[in-house]
Each structure stands twice: as C-alpha cells, then as structure tokens.
Copies of this chain bind each other. A is one copy, B any other.
C-alpha cells in the first residue's frame, strides 16, 4: 500500500471504518485522476451540470451560493480529505459554486467510479455516507448558529469546528492551525460585515481566547473558548471507528 494509506480522505474515513487492505486499494483507485486548480477561479459554477465530484488532497476551497442581489453566502469550506461536489454529482446540477482559496490538488471522481467502488466494498459506501452525514450535520450547526448565536460565539464556534476538522486529518491541534481564510471569507460565511469580523477577532484576542493573524489560528485557552462558544464536538463524530 502506498501514499493513499496516509491520504487525508483515508485518515478521515478511518475515523469511522477500520479500513481493510481491499478497501484501501479501492480508495487508492478513486485517487487516480489527479487534477490541479488555481486559486480564485471557480472550478464548478452554480447551475452547471455536474459531471464529477472531487476528493480534495491539498489546499482549501469555499463553496458558496450567489444571491439574486449579488451577495454571496458561503455555505462551507472544504479542507483536505473532504469531498467537493459529491452532492452536486448525485443531484446532477450543482446548487452552488466552488472556488479554490489557494492552489489545490484534487482527485476527480465520476459517478461510475463511485458505483464501482461501492460494488467492491459496501463498507466504503457506508463510510462515504458517514462523511456526507457529517457534512450535513455541519450545515445544520451553521443554520442554528446564524439563527441563534451572537457574533462572538459564532466566530469562536466556527474557529473551533475548523480546528477539529483539521485535527482529524493531522493538520491541527488544540494549539491551533494554519488557515488561509481572509476576513472577507469569514464575513460571507458568518453573515457579518468585514468590519464586524475585524472587531470580533480583536475582542476574542483581547479576551485571551484565540488569535487569528498572519494565516494562523492560535488557541490560547481551548477549554475556556469551548465553554464560551458552547462548542460540543459530538456532531463531528471523531471518537473512533464504529465499524470495526
């Protein structure tokens, strides 16, 4: 078994399924069609017929919907190990756009590739359904967050969620993580203005909770930040394989 054994998707799915040699080999084949995309140029447009999904192996992507009034609602960010457009390829039309935030590496996956992989190992189908369910749980959290959390708690919750997701693929810890997002990304994701984002980040920093500066998020007091945000990571389900 080669590098895929340590690919971010493999690390992530291993949180749910103890993968066998056969399953690792099937996952490896899903990574065959490697593609690169440059920062800032949409790789999938809203309304476009979706022909393929992607497994993100390096870099960050944001998925967003444009409103009729021209404003942008960022639905989520994708980090290494995440699928891009799995929903779109199954629903045939992309209901949103994907834009790489930095230059990225991804593997292209066709519906037929997925079907073939599922035929070879149904446990992999369950693991991918798990990953899709986890993505949906995050969108539900964001829905509740926009409705109910104030700006400071919403930001804190968001930075903690990203940290947990990155920790799962070995790119973050309770100390912090590297993060290429700008204040404009944060604003469009959290429903705040860029000025408001700036003020909220300053407050969190001055409270000694977390600093986001120069592309790095540093948690100063993880426990207190978790309490402050009322962050319960249970919905991210990272406690170890369910399927032995």
Interface residues, chain A, with chain B CB atoms under 8 Å away: 16, 47, 65, 67-69, 71, 73, 75, 86-87, 90-93, 95-96, 111, 114-115, 118-119, 122-123, 125-126, 128-130, 132-137, 139-144, 146-148, 191, 230, 234-235, 237, 239, 242-243
Cβ–Cβ contact A129 & B130, under 8 A:
no
- For the complex, what is the distance from the CA of A75 to the CA of B125, rounded to whole Å? 26
Q: Please pick, from B87, B91, B95, B237, the residue contacting A93 in the complex, using a CB distance under 8 A.
A: B237
**Chain B residues with Cβ under 8 A from A135's Cβ?**
136
Q: Please pick, from B134, B147, B242, the residue contacting A191 in the complex, using a CB distance under 8 A.
A: B147
**Chain B residues with Cβ under 8 A from A148's Cβ?**
67, 69, 71, 73
**Chain B residues with Cβ under 8 A from A92's Cβ?**
237, 239, 242
- For the complex, what is the distance from the CA of A122 to the CA of B87, rounded to whole Å? 17
Cβ–Cβ contact B129 & A90, under 8 A:
yes
**Chain B residues with Cβ under 8 A from A141's Cβ?**
95
Q: Please pick, from B91, B122, B235, B237, the residue contacting A122 in the complex, using a CB distance under 8 A.
A: B122
> In the complex, which residue of chain B has the Cβ closest to the Cβ of A116?
B122
**Chain B residues with Cβ under 8 A from A230's Cβ?**
68
Given contacts A73-B143, A75-B143, list 19 more A-B pairs with CB under 8 A: A47-B234, A67-B148, A71-B148, A73-B147, A75-B144, A87-B133, A90-B133, A91-B137, A91-B237, A92-B242, A93-B234, A95-B137, A95-B234, A96-B140, A115-B243, A122-B122, A129-B129, A142-B143, A146-B146
Task: List the 4 shortest-distance A-B pairs measured between CB atoms, nearest first.
Answer: A118-B122, A125-B125, A87-B133, A136-B136
Distance (Å) between the CB of A208 and the closest chain B CB? 23
Q: Please pick, from B69, B71, B132, B146, the residue contacting A133 in the complex, using a CB distance under 8 A.
A: B132
Q: A146-B143, A148-B67 are in contact. Are A235 and B95 (CB under 8 A)?
A: yes
Distance (Å) between the CB of A149 and the closest chain B CB? 9
Q: Please pick, from B67, B95, B130, the residue contacting A140 in the complex, using a CB distance under 8 A.
A: B95
> In the complex, which residue of chain B has the Cβ closest to the Cβ of A122?
B118
Q: Please pick, from B93, B122, B133, B147, the residue contacting A115 in the complex, using a CB distance under 8 A.
A: B122
